[in-house]
Chains A and B, each alone.
Chain A
C-alpha cells in the first residue's frame, strides 16, 4: 500500500489482570478510503480504535506493546501532544452524545478548545461541518436550539459534524448508526462516501451488511486477533479464512 495513513505495528493490549484484548495486530490503513474493522463482539475493534486516538490513555491498569504510526510518526512517542493528536484523529461514538448546549455550541466546541475565537471563522466552520454531515438543511434555522431537541439520528450527525469541525485527518467511527433508524443510517452511510475524499475513515460497523456497503478495505477481527485483511471488497466475496466466511454467512455471531 503506497504511503498508508496509519500503520498499526504489532499491537498487543492487555489488562494487568492478564486479560488479553488484542493480540499482535498489524495492518496498514489507506488514506482517503473507508476501512472497516468488523467482527463479533469482544473482538477488540473498539479498543483498537481507541488506541488510535489515545483515548485509552484514560483507562488505568492496562499495558500496550507495539507501535501505531500516523504519517510515519509514532503517536505514543513521549513528546507527542495528546490533545493535538486528537484534533487530527477524531472520533464518533456509538451513542449520540450531544453536549449540553445549543447545536451551534456543540459544533464549535472543538475549535474553541483549540483557541479559535474569531466569530466569522467559527460561523464558517459551523456551516461547513453541518453540510459535510448532511445535517445543514435540517437545522440551519435552529442553530440556537438545544442540541437535545434533535432526534437520535440528527444528534448522531451532529456528533459527526462536531468532529469534522476540527478538520481532522482521520475519522474513527464506532458503530455510529447502531441506534439509528434505516433512513438516518442511509444518510450517514452516504455522507461517508463524500467524506472519504477529504478524510481517512475507519469505521466499526454494526452489521456485516453495513460493512459490505461502505467498505473500501476490510479487516476481520475475532477474539482480539486480526484474522484477515483485504483491500477492496475481496473479503466479502472471497474470504481467505474459514472463520471469516463462517461469520459473514451467519454461522456464528
Chain B
C-alpha cells in the first residue's frame, strides 16, 4: 500500500520530537546571543564614542594640560615596552618549562607538584600578583618601581597560560614521530628539536600570544610595580618607570576631574585595538598552520 504513494505521513510522536528540538535549538541560540550581544555592545560603544578622539596627535603626541588634551603616546610606548619585556622573560621560561614537562619529566611527586603549582598560579587574582611584585621585585630585590619589576611580575602572571598551551601543543604531536626518531638513533633532544618542536610551533606561538594577551590589559600588577601617572619623557632604561595604557585609562577615568569623555573612550579604544589585533594574529597563525599540518 505505501510503496508508491509518496513520503510516509509523520506520526504525532515524531512531530512532538521535532518541536522539542526546535525549542531546544532556539534556547541555545538565545543563550549564545546573551553572551555575544553585551560584548558587541561594549565594543560598539567604545568604538563609537572613542573614534572621535583618534587623530595623529592623540596617538603620537605627548599629554598636555594634565592629561586632558594632547596624546597618549607615552602610554602606548609603555604598554609596548612592557609587553616585549614580559615576552623576553617569559618565553624562554614558559616554552622551556613546557618542553621539560612534556618531553622529559617522568610522573614523580616533583612533576605533580609543579603541575599543581601551575594550576594554582593560574587562579591567583591579579592584584595579589601586583603585591607580590611589589614585595619581591620593587622592595626586596631593590629594582624600585621600574620596567624590570613590572615585566618580571607580568612574566610570572603569563607563565601558567603559556606553559599550559605550549605543553598541549607539544603533546598533540603524535608519539610516533618520537619513536621513529629514536629508532633512527636520535637522542631525545634531537627528536624534540628536529621534529616535535617544529610541528608544535604554531600551537606554541598561539600559546605565547595568549599568555601575553592575559597581561597586556592588566592594571593591578603594574599599579604597584611600574606604572606612573605622568612622566615628562619616555623611559630610557629598564629601571625607569613608565606609563601604560591600562593604568592610564584607570587614572583618567577616576582621578582627574573634568576629563573629556572622548579622551577616556579614545584610550579604551586604543587598548582594545591592541588586544583584539593580538588575538586576531593568534587566530590567523593557528588556522594557517592547521591547514598545513602534516598529520
Residues of A whose CB lies within 8 Å of any CB of B are 53, 55, 58, 60, 83-84, 86-87, 90-91, 93, 95, 97, 99-100, 109-110, 113-114, 146, 148, 159, 162-163, 166
Contact = CB atoms under 8 A, between A and B. Distances in A.
Counting chain B residues whose Cβ lies within 8 A of the other chain, the interface size class is 20 to 34
Contacts of B184: 86-87, 90, 109-110, 113, 162-163, 166
A104 to B, nearest CB: 15
B248 to A, nearest CB: 46
A113 B183 contact: no
B138 to A, nearest CB: 45
B195 A86 contact: no
A87 B294 contact: no
Interface stretch (B22-30, B119-127, B139-147, B172-180): B172-180
Interface string B168-196: 00000000110111111111001000110
A93 B178 CA distance: 13
A83 B183 contact: no
A167 B180 CA distance: 16
A95 B179 CA distance: 12
A60 B107 CA distance: 10
B264 interface: no
A114 B184 CA distance: 9
Contacts of B181: 99, 109, 113
B179 A83 contact: no
5 contacts: A95-B176, A99-B180, A100-B198, A109-B181, A113-B194
B199 interface: yes
A83 B106 contact: no
Interface string B276-295: 00000000000000000011
A159 B180 CA distance: 9
- Of listed B182, B185, B190, residue having the most chain A CB within 10 A: B185
A124 to B, nearest CB: 18
Contact of A60 (B106, B177, B179, B199): B106
Contacts of B182: 55, 58, 86
Nearest to B177: A99
* Smallest CB-CB A-B distances: 5 pairs: A87-B185, A110-B184, A100-B294, A86-B185, A91-B183
A42 to B, nearest CB: 21
A166 B186 CA distance: 12
B195 A113 contact: no
Contacts of B183: 53, 55, 86, 90-91, 93, 163
A146 B185 contact: no
A146 B186 contact: no
Contacts of A93: 176, 179-180, 183
A55 B186 contact: no
B195 A100 contact: yes
A93 B182 CA distance: 12
A53 B180 CA distance: 12
Contact of B179 (A58, A100, A148, A166): A58
A60 B105 CA distance: 12
Given A86-B185, A110-B184, 18 more contacts: A60-B107, A83-B187, A86-B182, A86-B183, A87-B185, A93-B176, A97-B177, A97-B179, A99-B195, A100-B198, A100-B294, A109-B181, A109-B184, A113-B181, A113-B194, A162-B184, A163-B183, A166-B184
A97 B185 contact: no
A166 B181 CA distance: 13
A87 B184 CA distance: 6
A39 B194 CA distance: 37
Contacts of B107: 60
Contacts of B187: 83
